[in-house]
Amino acid sequence: MSVGAKEDGQRIDNFLLKQLPGVPKSHVYQLLRSGQVRINGGRVKAERKLAKGDEIRIPPVRDVDKSQAVRPPDAMLNRLRATIIHEDEHYLAINKPAGVASHAGSGIPYGVIEAIRAWNKYEFIELAHRLDRDTSGVLLLAKDRPALLRAQRAFKYGDTEKRYFALLIGRWRGEDRDVDAALVKNRLNGEQHRVQIDEEDGKPSKSRFSPKERYRDATLCEVQIFSGRTHQIRVHALALGHPVAGDQKYGERTDNKPLRELGLKRMFLHSHFLKLLPDGTFDKLIVNAPMPDELRDVLSRLPKIRS
């Protein structure tokens, strides 16, 4: 199989997922890990970018029964249509709801990208980045390959500004704090994983936490991330001794109980601002996503610190 101009610059894992729609995602990654997928005769990793003219060898694989393929329900398609916060000739951005995955995966039959493709509106639509399933906020999708490559370059080389709102457990002392700590992903069992700080084997990551509102037992922070590692804010917040409220993986059940009683039913982490710097023919892009009412309602119930 030869790579054409349309696939130039695409990651091999994304290419395979599109070419093998009936094959489970876990099996596609197993093929890559085991070296059964070859490019120009050599083994490759999932993040390898394709180039026009590359020759790809894929072993014979058996599709799952097409009747088992899950089409996102109409309610989900309509729900995501209502979350559009920006659209132009190159990009679509939504205010992703918490609890909705960016894409399908192990045990998750569909996500945002599958639902938007089911609109049958776009000839080309791809995720420009990802958000954790339990995180809400700005999720950017590209409507053509040059726009996708522009966004990928921006995220890779730091030509972006990404800001989140996070409610942290505990009373914050002082003002802004930076966390510059390398992160590594450790697989626990099956598809489950946990991210940890590891300065020797981890990937560099930096976050800046700025307190915006102080409550008796919690602090609302705006968090700017200068890298885009899995669970970065959650692990960096834990390292500061202030885990993200509602975080069931890295937080403590006892700390979250009072907030659940105040109505917090999810992790309090929301991506509210994304900026891409100008790049060639692409202008600056700024997208804002308002905080969901479900999170604002929790803040309204929190007892503030009396000055």
Residue (of 270, 259, 269) closest to 301 by Cα position: 259
Pairing of β 136-142 and β 269-276: parallel
How many Cβ atoms from other residues are within 10 Å of residue 183's Cβ?
22
Q: Which residues contact 66 (CB under 8 A, 6 or more apart)?
A: 22
CB 80 within 8 A of CB 38: no
Catalytic residue list contains 132: yes
- Helix, coil or strand: residue 187: strand
List the structure tokens of 174: 């002082």
**Hey, which bits of 237-284 come out as E strands?**
269-276
How many Cβ atoms from other residues are within 10 Å of residue 304's Cβ?
10
How many Cβ atoms from other residues are within 10 Å of residue 220's Cβ?
21
The DSSP string of 16-59 is HHHH-TTS-HHHHHHHHHTT-SEETTEE--TTPBP-TT-BEE--
Helices then strands, each counted (H, E), the chain? 8, 15
Instruction: Say what angle helices 25-33 and 12-19 make with each other, to 10 degrees.
Output: 130
Q: Which residues of 45-70 are buried (b: 16+ CB within 10 A; e: fewer)?
A: eeebbbeeebebebeeeeeeeeeeee
Per the residue annotation, which of 13, 54, 132, 134 is the catalytic one?
132
How many Cβ atoms from other residues are within 10 Å of residue 123's Cβ?
7
Residues designated as active site: 132
